[in-house]
Amino acid sequence: MTTPIVAVVGRPNVGKSTLFNRLTKSKMALVDDLPGVTRDRLYGRVESYEKPFTLIDTGGFDPPADQAFADEVHAQIKLAMEEADLILFLTDGKYGLSPLDSHVADMLRRSHKPVIACVNKIDSPEKEDAASEFYALGITPLHFISSAHGYGIWDMMQDVMAALPSVEEEDEDNSGEIRVTLLGRPNVGKSSLLNALVGSPRVVVSDVAGTTRDTIDTPFTFDGQDYVLIDTAGIRKLGRVEKGIEKAGVFRSLRSLERAHVAVVVLDAFEGITDQDLRLAGQAVESYRGLVVVLNKWDLLKGEEYKQRRLKERLESAFRFAPYAPVVKISALTKKGVNRVLPQVKKVFEEYNKRIATGPLNKAMEMILAKHQPPMVKGKRLKFYYASQVANRPPTIVLFVNNPKAVHFSYRRYLNNELRGVMGLTKAPLRLLFRERSGRKSHKGRP
Ligand SMILES: Nc1nc2c(ncn2[C@@H]2O[C@H](COP(=O)(O)OP(=O)(O)OP(=O)(O)O)[C@@H](O)[C@H]2O)c(=O)[nH]1
Ligand SMILES: Nc1nc2c(ncn2[C@@H]2O[C@H](COP(=O)(O)OP(=O)(O)OP(=O)(O)O)[C@@H](O)[C@H]2O)c(=O)[nH]1
């Protein structure tokens, strides 16, 4: 199951960040465990609607000073058209239609991606009439919304939901191949690991940075298991892109993650763990991909026991948000340990496919709820009605509850840990979705 990517595009100041904040603010709080530094406004998960998705705020590019902002918008749109599954095109109803809006509309019409147009800053229904000039953009559906106050957002989200694939759609691909993505900041040794894994150096680099993205996947077999290394071109290309590296990098890693089962995050053991490393690992966790942490350049720590211990401590504290991720120490240079990477990937993948039937799941839920009752919220007890696994890859369980927003982070974590135990998940993540259900029957009333 992949999580779709929705990108918000539009001229500066139309309200993209405001919309982004509104939609992501009630996101489920797996992120609470991530160190503050890994949180930014580049992307966020939206899980409070029927279908979860990743939202990307394409604003805030820093164009070189001599370039007009038209170039900035142009760059955003191109990125969004390449990488997103759906585009939210925002315009400013208070300002009125701008020539740049029409230009953006032309570009979007030529893309084959679904687009939903929104006239923002329509703070009340009366303002809609004044904004009817936006129909001239020729993009439908067209919604009148207020990102700041919430007007029209619900209607717009209905169209977004209708355009996105459903969570319950199973991963059709039963070929048994494991899709792996290698993530890591520049110079940690991704290309070296790629070469060591695949055996022979492969020339996959496009020399012109920033042109059409050429995704090249590399299939191979190891110990009788089929693997596909995703976007092997991007692994090398990213190091060469200088401008807008961060945003391009975020996009690349998100897109690769969406196509992967397992992310291998490569760290440089010699340089230590940086914020960027944690951000990449955080993306993998937020995308609910399997995660294997590779400590590369271990050869440089040979005999350095103090440094090894320091690194181990730092790793344990920094990766508290993914305690289940196996860690493999390697040297891509000497190839020592390299053969231990894929067996770990395979173990994670096997758990990633696990299933639990509804009967045993609900029996387990009864015990879990009895052992540690859901807390009272404003004098009312949270009620869990029913649980069901709706997907694997990753294992995804929907919990029906009377008030999903009131399920506190610590209780979510409790449920997640307990259910992981029940399902025998030790190396892979479990995704819990909380859905509203009203009704008198309590969980105990269900068979
Ligand atoms: N009246 C009104 N103002 C809004 C609304 N949404 C955003 N604004 C205001 O518009 C201004 C720009 O909003 P941002 O969300 O920063 O716009 P942006 O598109 O992210 O801007 P860039 O970062 O420059 O790309 C801010 O002053 C917001 O408060 C709205 O629905 N109604
Ligand atoms: N000592 C040591 N050096 C390594 C190891 N792995 C890679 N290197 C060196 O680290 C440097 C970067 O390696 P690359 O494989 O190009 O790193 P990368 O992550 O692909 O870099 P970008 O293309 O910039 O993203 C090269 O000089 C490698 O020789 C290792 O295990 N030990």
Residue 202: pLDDT band (50, 70, 90) is very low
End-to-end Cα distance, the chain: 29
DSSP string, 151-208: TTHHHHHHHHHHHSPPTT------S-PEEEEEE--TTSSHHHHHHHHHSS------SS
Ligand 2 binding pocket includes 152 (Cβ within 6 Å): no
The predicted structure's pLDDT at residue 204: 36
Residue 173, Cβ neighbours under 10 Å: how many?
10
Q: Answer yes or no: is pLDDT of 51 > 60.
A: yes
| Among the ranges given (12-21, 200-209, 236-245, 365-374), the one the predictor scored with the smallest mean pLDDT | 200-209
Fold agreement between 5-163 and 178-352: yes
Superfamily of domain 5-163: P-loop containing nucleotide triphosphate hydrolases (3.40.50.300)
Confidence of residue 275 (pLDDT cuts 50, 70, 90): confident
Name the residue of 181, 183, 185, 191 to mutate for ligand 2: max ligand atoms within 8 A of Cβ: 191
3-state secondary structure of 324: coil
Q: At what angle are helices 275-286 and 245-259 packed, to 10 degrees?
A: 30
Ligand 2 neighbour 188 (Cβ under 6 A):
yes
362 has pLDDT over 90: yes
Residue 294 has pLDDT above 90, yes or no: yes
Q: Whose CA is nearest to atom 27 of ligand 2?
A: 187
Cβ of 17 below 6 Å from ligand 1? yes
Residues 372/291, Cβ–Cβ less than 8 Å: no
Tell me the two tokens of residue 260: 């992967």
Q: What percent of the chain has pLDDT over 90?
A: 39
Q: Which residues pair with 45 in a beta bridge?
A: 54
Q: Contact 430/420 with Cβ under 8 angstroms?
A: yes
Question: Is the pLDDT higher at 435 or at 38?
Answer: 435
Architecture of the 358-436 domain: 2-Layer Sandwich (3.30)
User: Is 283 a pocket residue for ligand 2 (Cβ < 6 Å)?
Assistant: no
Phi, psi dihedrals of residue 361, rounded to the nearest 5°:
-65, -45
Q: Please give the residue that has the higher pLDDT: either 55 or 299.
A: 299
Checking if the pLDDT of 145 tops 70, the result is: yes
Does the Cβ of 184 fall within 6 Å of ligand 2?
Answer: yes
Q: What pLDDT was estimated at residue 302?
A: 93
pLDDT value at residue 134? 94
Q: Which residue has the higher pLDDT, 226 or 342?
A: 342
Q: What is the mean pLDDT of residues 322-342?
A: 93
Q: What is the pLDDT of residues 432-445, one digit of tens each?
A: 988 887 654 444 43
* Candidate ranges 141-145, 237-241, 253-257; pick with highest mean pLDDT: 141-145
pLDDT tens across 299-318, in order?
999 999 999 999 999 999 99
Where in the chain are the domains? 5-163, 178-352, 358-436
- pLDDT above 70 coverage of the chain, percent: 79
Annotated binding site for GTP: 10-17, 57-61, 120-123, 184-191, 231-235, 296-299
CATH of domain 178-352: 3.40.50.300
Record the tokens describing residue 325, joined without a space. 């991720």
Q: How confident is the model at residue 246 (pLDDT cuts 50, 70, 90)?
A: low
Mean of the per-residue pLDDT values for the chain? Answer: 81
pLDDT computed for residue 42 by the predictor: 66
